[in-house]
Structure 1
Amino acid sequence: MAGIGPVEPEPPSSDGTPHAHTQSHADTLWSGSPNSLRSYERWAALPPRLRRTLQVLLVAAAVAGAYAYTALSTTPTAPSPTPWPSQVTFLHYEGSGPPDPHHPRAGTFRFTGSVRDAHPVTIRQVHAGLPGLNTHVTPALPLTVKGGTPKPLTVRISVHKCAALPPGFTLPHLDLGLRNRQAQQQHSYLFGGAYPRDLATYLHATCGPREGHSGPPRGPRTDLTWK
């Protein structure tokens, strides 16, 4: 058992010879070369405040080294780029709406706007895409659409000048102003099928049919001459 205290004399052995003194490493309280002993003495001779300061600096240097090694050994993950708003924004035609009693000469057309992206898209503008037409959108713009949460849009279209309308149009469209965290865009959404027919029906009722036709054309192409 190791201990600290004066060295006790050992009794002679049975044959009268002194014991050979041995000391194991387990009994050694301090071991080292003379250089290490001198280093310890120099460290012990330093003022306590200086020793604490040096200990703090050594710990800080070790932490900084570990952080630098982790930063260099870890490959940063590049953030995924945000797509352009027109790439993730979709507009679906739902059908014509009931007449607006406050605007009897206007036609109402119902759409659903959706976004297929984690970042929302703001619809800033909606235009009918034809000269001579005015548009009004409900709900009011700008309208922010989040991914997975489609928003209904009601577009009220009114004619302010029949003579300004083109003699014919193919695949009527809506021009939308879009914005997300990537960019702002003007994008045209083309429609076939029901929307061209419904729009042609409204324009016939408002500006009159093409000469020789009693009603709107049945196909997606509308070749019309307006009064």
Structure 2
Amino acid sequence: MSGVGPVEPGEGTRVRIASPAPRPRRGPLAQHFERHRRAALGVLLTTAVLAGSGYLYVTRPRPEPPPPPLHPNQVTAVAYLNPRAAEAGTDRRSFSFDVEMTVESDHPVTVVRISQPYAGLSVSSSPRTPFRTKAGSPRKITITTRVTECGKVPRNVGLPFLDVTLRNTRAIQNHSFILGSRYAQDLSRALQVACSNGLG
């Protein structure tokens, strides 16, 4: 025999083909999976998609929170309008005047308290405090000052101001509003009338 190649069987011999190894016996769970393989793969795929979506939702960028509102004294203005004419028979120790309050903000401001810096004066307002002002809507307020003790009020007021306590969702603040020279003149005149002729 010469040449290279596989050995061929001779006459009368048979080629024995090895039978495949017996399959290992499968348990009931494997048999069940084999029967429902497509459904199980669908469930696994759905679970993976939902888990990925959940991860993306949880790790998504958060929108920036809206900025907090400004402090109430930064958005509130008070302007002196005019003195109110005294009615006949009214107390000469009282002086009433109107102011207009405006709030330039999306958030309302509450007026908690209104006062004067002078110990000899008491102050009341209409509407009575506390009251809320609407954003962007001017509000007219009537303020009445009453002389309680002439010795504790100046005869000639130079630059009077109105102390107002304001509150919004950001803060509560005390602020002094200067109402201008016309208010100073009207208040000085009213104090002179209130404390003249031996009153107080």
TM-score between the two structures when normalised by the length of structure 1: 0.64
RMSD of Structure 2 on Structure 1 (CA): 2.9
Q: Distance in 2 between matches of 1:100 and 1:51?
A: 92
- Given that 1:126 and 1:174 are in contact with CA atoms closer than 8 Å, whether structure 2 keeps it comes out as yes
Q: Which residue of 1 aligns with 2:10?
A: none
Q: How many angstroms apart in 1 are the aligned matches of 2:88 and 2:155? A: 29
Q: 1:92, 1:113 within 8 Å by CA — same for their partners in 2?
A: yes
Residue-by-residue CA offset, 1:54-111 (whole Å, 9 max, x unaligned): 4552342132133246x1xx46324223211111110000010122568523111100
Percent of residue pairs bearing the same amino acid type:
28
Please name the residue that 1:110 is paired with.
98
Q: SS of the residue aligned with 2:69? A: coil
Distance in 1 (alpha carbons) for counterparts of 2:50 and 2:35: 23
1:188 and 2:167 matched: no
- Which stretch shifts more, 75-84 or 48-57? 48-57
**Could you say which structure has the greater relative contact order, defined with CA pairs below 8 angstroms and 6 or more residues apart?**
2
**Partners of 2:181 and 2:158 in 1: CA distance:** 11
1:168-222 alpha-carbon deviations (Å, 9 max, x no partner): 542101100100111000111112221001101110111029xxxxxxxxxxxxx
Equivalent residue, structure 2, for 1:200: 188
For residues 147-183 of structure 1, what are the alpha-carbon distances to aligned partners after superposition, in whole Å with 9 as ceiling and x for unaligned?
2101000001110110122465421011001001110
The 3 A distance-change label for structure 1 pair 68 and 102 is farther
Residue of structure 1 in register with 2:114 after alignment: 126
Q: Name the amino acid aligned to 1:58.
A: A
Once the two structures are TM-superposed, the CA of residue 45 in structure 1 deviates from its matched residue by 3.3
Aligned counterpart, 2:67: 80
Pair 1:98 & 2:98 matched: no
Matched residue type, 2:81: E
Per-residue Cα deviation, 1:16-67 (whole angstroms, up to 9, x for no partner): xxxxxxxxxxxxxxxxxxxxxxxxx996534898667545523421321332
Determine whether 1:136 maps to 2:124.
yes
- AA aligned to 2:160 is P
Structure 2 length-normalised TM: 0.72
CA distance in 2, matches of 1:80, 1:54: 44
Residue 152 of structure 2, aligned match among 135, 140, 164: 164
Is the alpha carbon distance of 1:100 and 1:137 closer, same or farther for their aligned partners in structure 2, counting shifts above 3 Å?
Answer: farther
SS in 2 for 1:77: coil
User: In 2 relative to 1, CA 195–167 (structure 1 residues): closer, same or farther, beyond 3 Å?
Assistant: closer
* Preserved CA contact (<8 Å) 2:110 2:166: yes
Structure 1 stretches of 4+ moved >4 Å: 41-44, 46-53, 100-103
Change over 3 Å in CA distance of 1:99–1:48 after alignment to 2: farther
In structure 2, the gaps of 5 or more residues are 1-30
Match of 1:177 in 2: 165
- Look up the match of 2:24: none
Q: In structure 1, what residue type is equivalent to 2:51?
A: A
Query: What residue identity is the alignment partner of 1:179?
Result: R
User: Which aligned pairs between 1:30-41 and structure 2 lie closer than 5 A?
Assistant: none
Native 8 Å contact 1:94 1:112 kept in 2: yes
CA contact (8 A) 2:70 2:170 kept: yes
Query: What residue number does 2:55 align with?
Result: 65
